[in-house]
Copies of this chain bind each other. A is one copy, B any other.
Amino acid sequence: MEAETKERIAIVGSGLIGRCWAMLFARAGYFVSIYDIDSEQVKGALAATLPMLLDMESRDLLGGQKASDIQKQIQGTNQLEEAMQGAIHVQECVPESVDLKKRVFAQLDEHASDTVVLSSSTSCIVPSLFTEGLKHRSQCIVAHPVNPPYYIPLVELVPAAWTNPDVVRRTRALMADIGQAPVTLNKEVNGFILNRLQYALIMEAWRLVEDGVCSPEDVDTAMVEGLAPRYSFMGIFETMHLNADGMKDYCERYGANIKTVCETQSPARDLSGRTLSVVDDAMQRKVPVSGLGDRRKWRDRRLAALAVHKMMMKKEEAKSINP
């Protein structure tokens, strides 16, 4: 996250995700051009970045830089060619529709140099579905961020079968350079990594309620007050490794029973019917639909505070290693 000016990045689509990407790249010193078809929307996007950057500055998440300086690194245009001029990386952030992605990537293909990376922010569409016919298809990749990306740094990189491995490496390096946490899929798979893990949890949570084992509230308590705290700083495999004398010992001791339990965790259920009513009632007692907006603000405040907490922990650990 150095302040020197680096290469140019184009952001295609000026909605929330596009704005977030713009700030992340600009914070790391890149010169960012936001493109959208409507120049009023571009103007709105540029105006919206300053309050977001000021909020990050107040939490010491700009690496000592000033929000106003970072904002100067971000410009806007309603000319795609202008946005892509000299860019090393294009990050597409348009709504989730295969047809729309196809149209946008066809346009990107027209203006693409032979070295620029054409990257999509899609959370659920594998890249082969919208890049197959392109001249520059070997330069296409998915780089899926999590919302809000300045507090949740994961970026999932998904290449198509025809994506050049060098494009994958360059994109991973770029994401690490801007302070995000990239992971790489070696092949296309529905749900990528994060949602495959999340869906496995959702389905087991659903079964527990549907089979009358416990209430929806107690499922959520078990996660928040029991399982999740360690996962906020330590992964699934490392947790296993530490809960025995290493991974092999863990699998020898517990592997057979884990398999036995998991054999009862299928088939998948429909997320509907009476169980949906039970779960929905429980959630509406906690947060009525009319209160979702406020609760999302609460969530984002908590995510921000947790990101700061994790950053402080890392700084303390670095200090105790190099005092």
Contact = CB atoms under 8 A, between A and B. Distances in A.
Interface of A: 124, 146, 151-154, 156, 181, 183-187, 189-191, 193-205, 208, 211-216, 218-238, 240-242, 245-248, 251, 254-255, 257-272, 276, 279-280, 282-284, 286-287, 289, 292, 295-296, 298-299, 302-303, 305-307, 309-310, 313, 317
A123 to B, nearest CB: 11
Contacts of A271: 251, 254-255, 258-259
Contacts of A257: 124, 190-191
Given A235-B221, A255-B272, A265-B200, A313 B305 contact: yes
Contacts of A219: 183, 193, 197, 235-237
A237 to B, nearest CB: 5
Nearest to A287: B241
* Copies in the assembly, this chain: 2
Question: 5 shortest A-B CB distances, which residue pairs?
Answer: A220-B235, A154-B226, A255-B271, A228-B231, A262-B268
Given A202-B236, A228-B231, A292 B245 contact: yes
A237 B205 contact: yes
B235 A232 contact: no
A202 B240 contact: yes
Contacts of A260: 190
